[in-house]
Structure 1
Amino acid sequence: MPARAPFLRTALLAAVLLTACGTTPEPDATPSAAPSGKPAGKPAEDSSREPAVKAAGSLGGPGTACALPVSFSLAEGWEAEAVEKPKDPAFASLVTQGPATVLCEAKSEGTPDIAFLRVWTAPEGSARSVLKAFVEAEESRGIVLTDLRAGAVPAVEARYSVYSKLTEEWRETRSFAVRTGGGAVVVVGLAGLDSGEDAVTAAYELAKGTLRTS
């Protein structure tokens, strides 16, 4: 596996832990409260009250950590690295989710939170169809799709909950998708144990609000 592949290492470790844990209990049929000590993620209408974060650089443009078909501002304390495709075909599924392949991962290294902003791309389709397939490719529920703008670009956003087999709980998260001029669709997804924290969702909103296509 490539030396610079933190996303792959994390995905592989998760797969090993799940195997070691044996069977996984079925999630509750009703939404659970937020993890102990962690407040529930804010609903869509509360996004305007999320705390402001300081932009400490950009991602996606020339000279940045990842070459992407889009660019956006990265919040202070977040560090990005390109995700390399595994050389072993057996691990190819670790970098795909539905129709999308991950290109870049930004981690909240310099903050108290555990969270990731991942940039995925699909070669074709509409932003809505790709985003819906992307979300449904993992164990999710309560998906709400909304048409909006990411920067000045038409976009679709999904708010939903995902089930973590490692922590055996549901957590709220969100992703958005845009279609680039070349026809590809880019998905920017929020993930991690603290994906519902105010500072984390603010970093996501910063990326969404500053997005530009190449």
Structure 2
Amino acid sequence: MGRELKTMTALGAVLLLGLLGGCSTEASDEPDANAKGHAAAPAPKAPAAAPAVERGESVGAKGSPCELPATFDTAAGWTAEAVTVPGMPAQGPVTLACEIDAKPAGHIGFLRVWTGGKADDDPREALEAFTAAEAPSRKDATFEETEVGPYDGVEVGYLNTGEMLDAPKKERALAFATPDGLVVMHLGGADTEEHEQMLPAFELTKRSVRTGS
């Protein structure tokens, strides 16, 4: 009888320890009520990637909508048309040669291409003169050197504050020199929102610049 009592007591102790161990494990799975009073916040979401831009037609080569000193691709849906109006006023050393319309792609704005000058003209000086004529009232102009296909170029972003505008708006332009003269590309837009939506198309064109053919 004494032996049975001792055996039952030992079994009871083992069961009690098992129950206590189970309670301890369950408690460790619960969030710490004393640590800021709530569970950890979820990790922040990664920013959404910029929408991809499909390539459209090529412009610049002989037989294309605009024959230019360099060749490049436009975004899908954008349509190019040569500007052949005689006596077109110059902006700095360049005159308007091609208009690439974004409306068929759902945006209100143009990528305009200006040409002129000589192969040894300084793109920075040409871009400064162009910008002064394009937006006489502007602020926050930032110039930086950049690669434009095989050419060394200069790019500028600024805020056009012209009094004829409903509100100031962002604009961007770049210039580079080719063996056949200067090329200046300017991206405007109806307003800053339209401009920013068209920037991926501008970047596609910039990356695709190559020698004329």
Query: What TM-score, normalized to structure 2?
Result: 0.69
| 1:97 partner SS | coil
Q: What are the ranges of 5 or more consecutive residues in structure 1 without an aligned counterpart?
A: 1-48
Match of 2:171 among 170, 173, 177: 173
Q: Which position in structure 2 is the counterpart of 1:202? A: 200
In 1, the alpha carbon distance for the partners of 2:165 and 2:105 equals 21
Q: Which position in structure 2 is the counterpart of 1:141? A: 139
Asked if 2 retains the 8 angstrom alpha-carbon contact of 1:173 and 1:196, the reply is no
Q: 5 Å matches for 1:65-84?
A: 65-84=65-84
Q: Which position in structure 1 is the counterpart of 2:128? A: 132
Amino acid across the alignment from 1:159: G
Q: Which position in structure 1 is the counterpart of 2:190? A: 193
Q: Which position in structure 1 is the counterpart of 2:61? A: 61
Q: Which has the larger radius of gyration?
A: 2
Paired residue total: 159
In 2, the alpha carbon distance for the partners of 1:68 and 1:75 equals 17
Q: Which position in structure 2 is the counterpart of 1:158? A: 156
The Cα of 1:120 is off from its aligned counterpart by 0.4
Match of 2:115 among 105, 116, 121: 121
Q: Which position in structure 2 is the counterpart of 1:102? A: 96
The Cα of 1:85 is off from its aligned counterpart by 2.5
The Cα of 1:61 is off from its aligned counterpart by 1.2
Root mean square deviation of aligned Cα: 1.8
Amino acid across the alignment from 1:204: F
| 1:128 partner SS | helix
Identity of matched residues, %: 35
Q: 5 Å matches for 1:9-48?
A: none
Deviations 1:9-54 (A, max 9, x none): xxxxxxxxxxxxxxxxxxxxxxxxxxxxxxxxxxxxxxxx643210
Q: What are the ranges of 5 or more consecutive residues in structure 2 without an aligned counterpart?
A: 1-48
In 1, the alpha carbon distance for the partners of 2:122 and 2:211 equals 15
Q: Which position in structure 2 is the counterpart of 1:26? A: none
| 1:133 partner SS | helix
The Cα of 1:62 is off from its aligned counterpart by 2.2
| 2:161 partner SS | strand
Asked if 2 retains the 8 angstrom alpha-carbon contact of 1:100 and 1:121, the reply is yes
In 1, the alpha carbon distance for the partners of 2:106 and 2:191 equals 9
Asked if 1 retains the 8 angstrom alpha-carbon contact of 2:143 and 2:155, the reply is yes
Distance 1:56 1:67, change over 3 A: same
The Cα of 1:145 is off from its aligned counterpart by 0.8
The Cα of 1:99 is off from its aligned counterpart by 2.2
Query: What TM-score, normalized to structure 1?
Result: 0.68
In 1, the alpha carbon distance for the partners of 2:94 and 2:83 equals 13
Distance 1:67 1:97, change over 3 A: same
Amino acid across the alignment from 1:209: R
